[in-house]
Chains A and B, each alone.
Chain A
Amino acid sequence: MTDLTRRAALKGAVALGAAASLPLPARASGSLSAAIYPGTWDEAYRAIVAPQVKAKHGIDVAFDTLWAVDQVTKVRAARGVPPFDCFVLDPGPAAAARQAGLFDPIDASKLTNAGKLPAGMIAADAVTVNVQIVGICYNPKKIPNPPKTWAQLFESPYVERLGLTGFQTTFGTVSLVEMAKAFGGSATDIEPIFKKLKEVLPKVAAVSTPAALPGLFQQGQIDLMYTNTNNAATLKAKGVDIAFLAPESGAITFSTTLHIVKGSENRDAAHKYIDTVIGADAQSKLQLSPYNMVPVNKDVKLTDNLDIKSLDEVAKMVTHDWNVINPQRAAWIERFNKEITK
């Protein structure tokens, strides 16, 4: 309450200025703003989810295309004036957002499809809508005998074709943790991978931002990278020479979750949106090419464009505890900067 009155007082103070005449767009009850990842997710949700939400519930969904870290930063900066109603997040940013108290609770009883999801996929403030699988991607034309383990990525002739990316993304972080394990480290001791990185750095084809990887891959600067099946399949569907492979130690998996932003004025609409996303109708379409999103609804039969046969496979894959990783991440990023920089 004090927050509100302080804000009201501040607002009054500037009401004399021209800024006060700026309109505050009121949101109609039948509308919702949802954050969505750029690229495939944006296309898929715009094409499949939005029309279904409109048809079933009469709600207009507008999408704000933002990466997970951008979403969290934007909501934090907005300080209680939510810029959108729903997050879509990976575990790393989700843990950070939870710690910062940016979620409103989700009422599972309002989700008609709640029972269709495997146990554990609905939490008090999160609903899993998609499973991501991370492994090694390579160009089968240039690399006929791809590496079989994380460690082999750092050997010739592979390392000369490898595109590295750091700790700023979820898939980059978990891949580097797995590589650390391959050289004798663990999620709390990633010393071995830093040692290895320093050693191979003069040889690697590129150390890049994740955003640049698809372009670099396609133009032949790199022929090997680590990314999720979803990205790989999308590029493959567009005619890029790319193949996915799970390392011998197992592919990495993590879930993508939807959340309601704290202070959202469209909580009902947000529940209906989330319910539609996990419904069999949407999930069965989202798994098709070119979207290739691994479904979570038990009623959905997996199609063969995906790199897994059944959801049981996912249960055997490597997972990570982000409550362990997040506190160390800032230090890892700083160290990556310092040691990787020329």
Chain B
Amino acid sequence: MARQLNTPSDRLYGVVMGTLALAGLAILVVPVLIVLVSSLTSSTVLRFPPPGLSLRWYEALLDPGRSRHVHVALWNSLWVAACATAIGAVLATLAALALNRASRASARLLEAGFLSPLVLPGLAFGLATLMYFSILGFRPSLNLLIAGHIVVIAPFIFRTTLASLTQLDPALHESSASLGAGRLYTFRRITLPIIAPGIAAGAFLAFVSSMDNVPVSLFLSTARTNMLPIRMWGMMETTLDVRVAAMSGALIVVVLILMIVMDRLTNLTRRMSM
């Protein structure tokens, strides 16, 4: 981009791309800003613009007395998302490796099959899963929720890992093998470093989509395994509870701090983004 813009056509390219990029970033940021500003309202109900600013809803959110049920739901959601992402990452990465260089029609079909949970309407899947578990006689539990979530989120990791695998030069493998390296060694030293960003990006998508999953959780969660989005949906709908906005605000701040710390420590964010 440091290159001089020399022709009118090149200048136009810069203007068009720059404008679109700015507009795109605005679309990404503005709604989040509205949520953040709304979460700082001093009024008793979610409203924009807020009549005054205060941190009262963050206090209310942290208050173990008033928001205990929110905290319980948060921990349940975090636990389910963490387990589902960890298990899903291993399974999906293996599956992506399995399909990486296969080109037959059967491979295309299997790829589509592995991606298909993405397109299954969550509501129908939730309903069908509850029926399935009930026919088997299982009561809903956190473990069943994890199983349901793995299916829903594994495709994210599978997809991004497969995409980064296409960047892998097969010659690297061949030279590694011809130098007498074992398969595991080749995987660890050559394949993994190249596909790690893909896995990380997929795992991130998987984690947040598990945290935000409404339909599967709606059917598989119970009174004792409350999930955060279900709890927040209820708080938001009828009473416009500001704590829902505060929860998003808190999440954004936590991730921001995490990114800065990780960046200072390991430069990890840069690796993830590439």
**A→B interface (CB under 8 Å):** 7-8, 10-11, 14, 19, 22-25, 33-35, 37-40, 42-43, 46, 62-66, 70, 73-74, 77-81, 83-84, 211, 214-215, 218-219, 231, 234-235, 237-240
Docked complex Cα distance between A33 and B233 (Å): 20
Shortest Cβ distance from residue A208 to the other chain B in the assembled complex, whole angstroms: 12
Please, which residue of chain A has its CB at the minimum distance from the CB of B238?
A39
Q: Is there contact, CB below 8 Å, between A10 and B223?
A: no
| Distance A329 CA – B233 CA, assembled complex (angstroms) | 26
Q: Which residue of A lies closest to B233 (CB)?
A: A38
Interchain CB contact (< 8 A) of B223 among A24, A39, A81, A84: A84
Which of B14-22, B74-82, B133-141 lies at the interface?
B133-141
Residue of A nearest to B73 (CB): A65
Partner of A81, one of B43, B127, B139, B233: B139
- In the complex, how many angstroms separate the beta carbon of B44 from the nearest chain A beta carbon? 4
Check B234 for interface membership: any CB of A closer than 8 A: yes
Docked complex Cα distance between A37 and B226 (Å): 14
Q: Cβ of A33 and Cβ of B238 under 8 Å apart?
A: no
Q: Scan B222-250; emit 1 where CB is below 8 A from any A CB, else 0.
A: 11101000110111011110000000000
**Which residues in window 28-54 of B have CB below 8 A to A?**
43-48
Q: A23-B143, A33-B224, A235-B45 are in contact. Are A14 and B136 (CB under 8 A)?
A: yes
A-chain residues with CB within 8 Å of residue B143 when the two chains form the complex: 22-23
B140 shortest CB reach to chain A, Å: 6
Contact of B130 with A by CB under 8 A: yes
A19, A77, A215: the one contacting B130 at CB < 8 Å is A77
Q: What residues on B are CB-neighbors of A214 within 8 Å?
A: 237-240
Known A79-B131, A239-B44: A234·B238 in contact at CB below 8 Å:
yes
Known: A39-B238, A238-B44. A78 touches B134 (CB 8 A): yes
Q: How far is the CA of A80 from the CA of B141 in the complex (A)?
A: 16
Shortest CB-to-CB span from A271 to chain B, Å, is 18
For residue B135, give the distance in angstroms from its CB to the closest CB of chain A. 6
Q: Which residues of A contact B137 (CB under 8 A)?
A: 7-8, 10-11, 81
| Residues of A with C-beta under 8 A to B238 | 38-40, 214, 231, 234
Asked whether B222 lies within 8 Å of A33 as measured between CB atoms, the reply is yes
Instruction: Kindly count the residue-residue contacts between A and B in the assembled complex, taking CB atoms under 8 Å apart.
Output: 116
Are A25 and B141 touching (Cβ within 8 A)?
A: yes
Question: Given A62-B223, A218-B240 in contact, is the A22-B144 Cβ separation under 8 Å?
Answer: yes
Given A78-B130, A81-B134, A231-B238, verify A65-B230 contact (CB < 8 Å). Answer: yes
What are the residues of chain A within 8 A of B226 when measuring CB–CB? 64-65
Set of chain A residues within 8 Å of B239, measured between Cβ atoms: 39-40, 43, 214, 234-235, 238
Q: Is B108 an interface residue (CB 8 A)?
A: no
Tell me if A38 and B138 are in contact (CB < 8 A): no
* Bound form: Cα–Cα A84–B221 in Å: 11
A143 to chain B: closest CB distance in Å?
Answer: 19
* Cβ–Cβ contact A211 & B237, under 8 A: yes
Q: How large is the interface on B (under 10, 10 to 19, 20 to 34, 35 or more residues)?
A: 35 or more
- Given A22-B141, A23-B143, is A34 in contact with B136 using a C-beta cutoff of 8 Å? no
Chain A residues, CB < 8 A from B48: 219
Q: For residue B139, which residues in chain A have a CB less than 8 angstroms away from its CB?
A: 24-25, 81, 83
Contact B224 A83 (CB under 8 A): no
Which residue on A lies nearest to B147, using beta carbons? A19
Q: Which residues of B sit under 8 angstroms from A81, Cβ to Cβ?
A: 134, 137-139
Contact (Cβ within 8 A) B222 A65: no
A196 to chain B, nearest CB (A): 28
Residue of B nearest to A63 (CB): B223
Closest 9 CB pairs of A and B: A38-B234, A39-B238, A62-B223, A238-B45, A33-B223, A64-B223, A238-B44, A65-B234, A77-B130
Report whether A84 and B130 are in contact in the complex, using a CB–CB cutoff of 8 Å: no
Shortest CB distance A213–B (Å): 9
Check A62 against B224 for contact (C-beta < 8 Å). yes
* B242 to chain A: closest residue by CB: A238
Check if A38 sits within 8 Å of B45, measured CB to CB: no
- Is B69 in contact with chain A by the CB < 8 A criterion? yes
Most chain A CB within a 10 A radius of its CB, from B218, B230, B240? B240
B187 interfacial by beta-carbon distance below 8 Å: no
Chain A residues with CB under 8 A of B230: 65
Minimal Cβ-Cβ distance residue in A for B69: A46
- Give the chain B neighbours of A33 by CB distance below 8 A: 222-224
Closest to A240 in B: B45
Complex CA–CA separation, A215 to B240 (angstroms): 7
A317–chain B nearest beta-carbon distance, Å? 22
- Between A and B, 29 residue pairs with Cβ closer than 8 Å are A8-B137, A10-B135, A10-B137, A19-B138, A22-B138, A22-B141, A22-B143, A24-B139, A34-B223, A35-B223, A38-B234, A38-B238, A39-B235, A62-B223, A62-B224, A63-B223, A66-B218, A74-B219, A77-B130, A77-B219, A78-B130, A78-B131, A83-B139, A83-B222, A84-B223, A218-B47, A218-B240, A219-B47, A234-B239
